[in-house]
Amino acid sequence: MPRPSFYQEEYYPSPMRHTWTDFQRNHIALAGLWCLLFFIVAAFLGPFLVPYGPLQQNTDMLLLAPAWNVNGDISHLFGTDSLGRDILSRIIHGCRITLGTSVILVLIAMLVGCSIGAYAGISRGLRASVINHLLDAIMAIPTLLIAIIIVAILGTGLLNSMWAITLALIPQFIHQTRDLVRREFQKEYIVAARLDGASNHRLLVKDILPNMVEVLVVQATMALSVAILDISALGFLNLGAQSPSPELGTMLSEALDTAYAAPWSVALPGAAIFLMVLSINLVGDGLRTALKNRLLQ
């Protein structure tokens, strides 16, 4: 619908509106956004709608096939596992644990990483050299390996794996924020503000941070997919959430013993992880493309 205008003046959309307009033109990214919204709604509202609890067992229906199979039952849409637990209920609760935990980890890592990165960006001399070399060394190590090392020190469990993945994600935000702050400090409007006597804190809060929001959102989407994979991987390796928790990686680990007799018990949680990560990556790629187009115009 065209925007009504009562005055003879051109309409200039805000940077956020411009980015959203470009994002809508990417139909694949938009489909990924709808898929991600579906997982978010299922994670928050699904546990209140499913008919079975994630730990509820039914010994009369062990390894029941999904409803679309000739041996399936509509009462268990995705079938049951080796203990008679409803797989659909466990997947929905697992999405809540995996996705919800990943969002919390990314928010904490972004807050801490942006604070340290901003300090590293305005630092000069020996402090900047030490921070930069230490950061480059850490960035060369995969996040999953860092998480495994930290879990080996702290011990297994979901809480320890959360701390491990948070500490592993922080260097990415430090690196991104440091580079952004350094680039912004070289621009003319920052130089003019410094000549007027503006402090570094005021420049960061009032001028640089608003210009970093969109880039940090893109970085957060990438970190979110990494966090989901790492949480699932640690659960699969029995280093994260422990059985009988309905975490998706733990469900995959439990289903390996019955993979040949009940392949759906492995395929369905794996498909949930795949679609969740794929949708987040599509959204992140769409945001990155939209942001690049806006900056080029």
140: CB partners within 8 A, 6+ apart: none
The structural architecture, per CATH, of the domain 104-297 is Orthogonal Bundle (1.10)
Q: Which residue has the higher pLDDT, 254 or 7?
A: 254
**176 falls in which pLDDT band (50, 70, 90)?**
confident
Q: What is the model's pTM?
A: 0.85
Least confident of 4-18, 203-217, 282-296: 4-18
The pLDDT tens digits for 224-276 are: 999 999 999 988 888 888 888 888 988 988 888 888 888 888 889 999 999 99
94 in Cβ contact with 251 (< 8 Å) = yes
Got the DSSP string for 233-269? HHHHTTSSSPTT---HHHHHHHHGGGTTT-THHHHHH
pLDDT on residue 245 = 84
Q: Where are the domains of the chain?
A: 104-297
The pLDDT tens digits for 101-153 are: 999 999 999 998 888 888 877 777 666 677 777 777 777 778 788 888 888 88
The pLDDT tens digits for 183-238 are: 887 777 777 877 777 777 777 777 777 777 777 888 888 899 999 999 999 888 88
Between CA 92 and CA 86 the distance in angstroms is 10
The number of beta carbons lying within 10 Å of the beta carbon of residue 266 is 18
Least confident of 1-10, 61-70, 240-249: 1-10
**Residue 169 dihedral angles phi and psi, to the nearest 5°:** -85, -25
Give the burial class of 8: count Cβ atoms within 10 A of its Cβ; 0-12 exposed, 13-18 middle, 19 or more buried. Answer: exposed
pLDDT on residue 279 = 93
Instruction: Give the best-scoring range by mean pLDDT among 38-47, 100-109, 153-162, 173-182.
Output: 100-109
